Amino acid sequence: MAIPFIDLGTQRARIGAKIEAGVLKVIGHGAYIMGPEVKAFEADLATFAQSKHALSCANGTDAIELILLGLGIGAGDAVFVPAFTFVATAEVVPMTRAEPVFVDIDARTYNIDPVKLEAAIEAVIAEGRLKPAAIIAVDLFGQPADYPALKLIADKYGLPLISDAAQGFGGTIDGKQPLEWAVATATSFYPAKPLGCYGDGGAVVTNDDVLQDRLISYRVHGGATAADAAAAKFEHETKYLNVRIGMNSRLDTIQAAVLIEKLAIFAEEIELRQVVAKRYNEALEGFVTSVPYVKDGYVSTWAQYTIEHENRDGLQLHLREKGIPTAVYYPIPLHQQPGYAGFTSGTRNLSVSEAKSKTVISLPFSPYLTAETQNEIVEAIKSFKG
């Protein structure tokens, strides 16, 4: 039987009946948009995230953009993002008419380097063309960024710190989630994510009441909040008083029904992911250039299990010939992408991102990956002589 890169089938066999019942319930009551399951899921998500508020939306990209809009990011602003991540993190910045400033990563964690972040902020200040406005940290491959260090820098320069936890939602530092340091956390429910639905979906969690009100407004066409409507003495549906330029970014009720059941087992699945990652690390140490490094006190959600190999492309071909799927996250850093060539502020010292893009390769991974299948993958890697 073929080895899946991400095994969604085993999870579905475990909770499929509950999911199907939830979906049929939605079909039965007919509230397909912003139905009761959406509110129920948001409440569950806030409890899990230890946050005051949770707001669902259409996808993880919108989740980041909603935060930027809610913070008032716009023309002339610089938003600092890691150069080594998926394009969505940077993509939303120009959507607000601000500019992304690319920052290099830590060589061991793949997350934004706090020292290089401060250097990039100083470079933007010295250039004088843009105003430093926000920092977006990415929890790449599932491990939280160094939020305590990033928060010190954010406070020093008066910048909001945003957590892009599309890959790392549920990850912790000394038992605390990124919201302990960030103004808001964005996540994605794309099916391949550790907490994924059966389509697209995303969410923002925050403890900021004012930001939450703005997010509610921007999510649905810039409609009025309760405070907006009261100030305007508007007595009709608030969605018909449009005080901001918003978007249409709602989580489908059916997806909320799926996520309610998946969230119920998510904490257990995070624990199972630790077991699978530990088995990989112990088996592969010394047979590849490097195995993943997780800092003391940090818990990764292991969205991907990523090793490094000096002959990455040769190894990928070798594994493909043996029926083992792999993926490369990411073969081109963001500052080298053609669509982002015009964004040149910052230090431009992005050598770590450039080097890692040539050596990283991700292996099949899920909380339900068996020791037998892992052994097959490991033995195939050990047999590579390139």
| Residues identified as active-site | 193
Structure tokens at 314: 């040769």
Alpha helix stretches (DSSP H) within 252-311: 253-264, 266-284
Query: CA-based Rg of the chain, rounded to a whole angstrom?
Result: 21
* Separation between Cα atoms, residue 223 and residue 214, nearest integer Å: 9
Three-state DSSP class for 50? coil
Q: How far is CA 338 from the centre of its chain?
A: 23
- Give me the torsion for CA of 279, 326, 113, 82, rounded to 10°: -150
Q: Say if CB 380 and CB 318 are below 8 A apart.
A: yes
Structure tokens at 360: 């990283």
Q: Say if CB 316 and CB 361 are below 8 A apart.
A: yes
Q: Say if CB 56 and CB 33 are below 8 A apart.
A: no
